[in-house]
């Protein structure tokens, strides 16, 4: 270029790593070379980029070489950009070439990973001299963008055009940016055209990624649910949905199933063992996403059916219950086997007349699944004095220990009889007597000062109804006249049964 004038070239730096890129050295070298737009305080975030200019101002007609040295915290730790140029003497202005693009940027939109998209841009010389294109390069996003057609080099006469075709072939899902740089002798060189596009891809994950059915009774089935999720940005489709392994089947999914981006579906794997052997299998899913083939491992074992009905407690003791009253006790029945128990009936046996024994809580037709429990309630309501001997509750079922027996014990006791003592006396004097007081003691002569009658008795008989069974009582009587009492009568004794 003409000595004493300047030419500026733009350089783009991109951080393709996952941590911020910093600079400890930004140094130009070579006569006539300077830089603007970058310094040691510049930071490029992950996935970001910056541009800076290198300016050449020749002071002579000699050819000059130089560099820009960048020392970073990344890889490589030192990057050297070579520079070259030559000065010339001023010549008559033959005209100026100007290169214009038909699009200031190219957007490829959504393109599936593994597919391609193409865009063309027209380059026109709108200046007054021919434009000579030296290079056309992809300076960012070169992994996914490429120049695949057109005339990216050569001379373009004034008013003429050429075209360049760029292809987008995303290697992974997500947004991708880049740029195409056209270098020429045009006054506006280099010409930079930003590029953008989004790679679309489905991504499949399964929860759980494997299923162990444990032990399943031969001839019965166990079903487990699996959730499939598409964490990608494109619909997920299936070209193969195949279960394998003896006894394993699936429902709820087929090759017509489609999972939208961010969506999920659930399906069931069913294990129906035909023997007691251990079984291994899998569900293979072939998709349009990542991974292209997903295998979910399956395992399980068959077992022989066992039915065992247990009772806790196995005996119920009512102790003593008064006739006319009732007492209820419970026992818990539990299916301790691995197959359903069908209860066909429950009866109370060995109970004599008057025991009033009843049992409830379950009935014929009750089904207990493995590990399931039910409560039996037994009520003892004696109608006469009795002792439970050999009584029990019998539960009939398909259990191997049928009938399951709950033994019963207890005593029905008659209500205690009430007793009374009736006293009568022959008064020696009746005139002036207003009534009589009765005194009671549990030992002979041990009377207190308070009569058992609340007020003087007007007649010559008195009935004491507050006596207790099995007790012996002693009684005396006194005559009352205007608050004055006579001496005690003779003592009598009453023995209560």
Please report the pLDDT score of residue 312 as a whole number: 94
58-67, 85-94, 327-336, 408-417: which range is least confident on average?
A: 85-94
Please report the pLDDT score of residue 340 as a whole number: 87
DSSP β-ladder status, 341-349 and 367-368:
antiparallel
| C-alpha–C-alpha distance, residues 213 and 251, integer Å | 16
291-305 pLDDT, tens digit per residue, is 989 999 999 998 887
What percent of the chain shows pLDDT beyond 90? Answer: 37
CATH of domain 421-495: 2.60.40.10
153-180 pLDDT, tens digit per residue, is 778 888 898 889 999 988 888 889 999 9
| C-alpha–C-alpha distance, residues 386 and 126, integer Å | 123
DSSP 3-state percent helix, strand, coil across the chain (nearest 5): 0, 55, 45
| C-alpha–C-alpha distance, residues 254 and 243, integer Å | 11
- Say how many CA atoms lie within 13 Å of 48 toward its Cβ: 11
Mean pLDDT to the nearest integer, 412-438: 82
**pLDDT band per the 50, 70, 90 thresholds, residue 353:** low
Question: Would you give the distance in Å from CA 456 to the centre of its chain?
Answer: 85
Helix or strand holding residue 474 (H, E)? strand 472-481
462-486 pLDDT, tens digit per residue, is 998 888 878 899 999 998 887 788 8
Could you give the angle at the alpha carbon of 20 between the alpha carbons of 19 and 21, nearest 5°?
115
| C-alpha–C-alpha distance, residues 431 and 406, integer Å | 74
The closest alpha carbon to 196, from 136, 111, 115, belongs to: 111
Please report the pLDDT score of residue 448 as a whole number: 87
Question: Would you give the distance in Å from CA 202 to the centre of its chain?
Answer: 24
Mean of all residue pLDDT scores within the chain: 88
Q: Which residues of 414-432 are buried (b: 16+ CB within 10 A; e: fewer)?
A: eeeeebebebebeeeeeee
Q: Give the CATH number of domain 204-303; options: 3.40.190.10, 3.40.50.11440, 3.90.79.10, 2.60.40.10.
A: 2.60.40.10
**pLDDT band per the 50, 70, 90 thresholds, residue 201:** confident
pTM over 0.85: no
- Who contacts 2 (Cβ-Cβ below 8 Å, separation ≥6)? 58, 87, 88, 89, 90, 91
> How would you class 50 by CB atoms within 10 Å of its CB: exposed for 0-12, middle for 13-18, buried for 19 or more?
middle
Please report the pLDDT score of residue 33 as a whole number: 87
| C-alpha–C-alpha distance, residues 212 and 210, integer Å | 7
pLDDT at 214 exceeding the cut of 50: yes
Helix residue ranges per DSSP H, 40-179: none
| C-alpha–C-alpha distance, residues 249 and 477, integer Å | 100
DSSP collapsed to 3 states, 354-406? CCCEEEECCCCCCEECCCCEEEEEEEECCCCCEEECCCEEEEEECCCCCCEEE
Domain ranges of the chain: 7-86, 99-200, 204-303, 309-413, 421-495
Q: What is the dihedral of CA 95, 101, 102, 106, to 10 degrees?
A: 180
3-state SS, residue 3:
coil
pLDDT at 7 exceeding the cut of 90: no
Mean pLDDT to the nearest integer, 268-286: 94
Please report the pLDDT score of residue 2 as a whole number: 61
Q: Considering only the top CATH level, what class is 99-200?
A: mainly beta
- Say how many CA atoms lie within 13 Å of 107 toward its Cβ: 4
Its CATH architecture, for the domain 309-413, is: Sandwich (2.60)
In this structure, are residues 10 and 192 in contact, taking their beta carbons and an 8 Å threshold? Answer: yes
Question: Would you give the distance in Å from CA 394 to the centre of its chain?
Answer: 44
| C-alpha–C-alpha distance, residues 467 and 475, integer Å | 12
Query: Is there a common fold for 204-303 and 421-495?
Result: yes
| C-alpha–C-alpha distance, residues 146 and 195, integer Å | 10
448-464 pLDDT, tens digit per residue, is 888 999 888 888 899 98
| C-alpha–C-alpha distance, residues 14 and 51, integer Å | 9
The closest alpha carbon to 34, from 68, 84, 3, belongs to: 68
The radius of gyration of the chain's CA atoms, rounded to the nearest angstrom, is 54
227-256 pLDDT, tens digit per residue, is 999 988 889 999 999 999 999 999 999 999
174-185 pLDDT, tens digit per residue, is 889 999 998 988
pLDDT at 388 exceeding the cut of 60: yes
Q: Give the CATH number of domain 7-86; options: 3.20.20.60, 2.60.40.10, 3.40.50.2000, 1.10.3720.10.
A: 2.60.40.10
Please report the pLDDT score of residue 92 as a whole number: 44
| C-alpha–C-alpha distance, residues 258 and 253, integer Å | 9
| C-alpha–C-alpha distance, residues 161 and 172, integer Å | 35
């Amino acid at each position: 270029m003409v000595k004493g004038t300047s030419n500026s070239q733009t350089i783009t730096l991109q951080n393709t790593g996952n941590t911020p890129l910093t600079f400890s050295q930004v140094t130009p070298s070579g006569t006539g070379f300077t830089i603007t737009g970058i310094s040691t305080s510049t930071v490029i975030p992950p996935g970001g980029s910056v541009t800076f200019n290198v300016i050449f101002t020749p002071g002579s007609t000699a050819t000059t070489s130089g560099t820009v040295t960048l020392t970073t915290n990344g890889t490589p730790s030192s990057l050297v950009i070579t520079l070259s140029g030559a000065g010339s003497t001023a010549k008559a202005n033959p005209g100026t070439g100007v290169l214009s693009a038909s699009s200031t940027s190219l957007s490829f939109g959504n393109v599936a990973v593994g597919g391609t998209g193409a865009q063309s841009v027209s380059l026109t010389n709108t200046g007054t001299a021919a434009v000579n294109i030296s290079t056309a390069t992809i300076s960012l996003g070169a992994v996914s963008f490429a120049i695949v057609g057109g005339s990216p080099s050569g001379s373009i006469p004034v008013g003429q055009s050429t075209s360049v075709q760029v292809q987008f072939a995303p290697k992974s899902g997500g947004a991708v940016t880049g740029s195409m740089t056209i270098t020429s002798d045009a006054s506006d060189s280099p010409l930079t055209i930003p590029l953008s596009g989004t790679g679309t891809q489905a991504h499949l994950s399964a929860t759980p990624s494997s299923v162990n059915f444990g032990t399943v009774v031969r001839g019965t089935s166990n079903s487990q649910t699996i959730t499939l999720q598409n964490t990608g940005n494109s619909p997920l489709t299936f070209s193969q949905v195949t279960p394998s392994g003896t006894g394993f089947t699936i429902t709820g999914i087929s090759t017509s199933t489609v999972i939208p981006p961010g969506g999920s579906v659930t399906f069931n794997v069913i294990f129906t063992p035909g023997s007691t052997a251990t079984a291994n299998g899998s569900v293979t899913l072939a998709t349009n996403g990542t991974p292209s083939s997903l295998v979910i491992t399956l395992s399980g074992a068959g077992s022989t059916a066992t039915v065992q009905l247990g009772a806790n407690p196995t005996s119920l003791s009512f102790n003593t219950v008064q006739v006319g009253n009732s007492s209820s006790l419970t026992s818990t029945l539990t299916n301790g086997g691995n197959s359903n128990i069908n209860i066909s009936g429950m009866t109370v046996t060995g109970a004599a007349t008057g025991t009033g024994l009843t049992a409830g809580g379950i009935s014929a037709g009750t089904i207990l699944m493995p590990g399931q429990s039910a409560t039996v309630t037994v009520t003892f309501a004696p109608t006469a004095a009795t002792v439970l001997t050999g009584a029990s509750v019998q539960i009939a079922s398909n259990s191997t220990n049928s009938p399951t027996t709950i033994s019963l014990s207890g005593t029905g006791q008659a209500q205690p009889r009430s007793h009374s003592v009736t006293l009568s006396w022959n008064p020696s004097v009746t005139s002036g007597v207003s009534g009589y007081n009765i005194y009671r003691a549990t030992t002979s002569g041990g009377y207190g000062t308070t009569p058992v009658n609340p007020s003087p008795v007007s007649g010559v008989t008195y009935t004491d109804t507050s006596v207790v069974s099995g007790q012996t009582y002693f009684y005396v009587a006194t005559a009352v006249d205007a608050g004055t009492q006579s001496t005690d009568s003779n003592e009598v004794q009453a023995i209560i049964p």
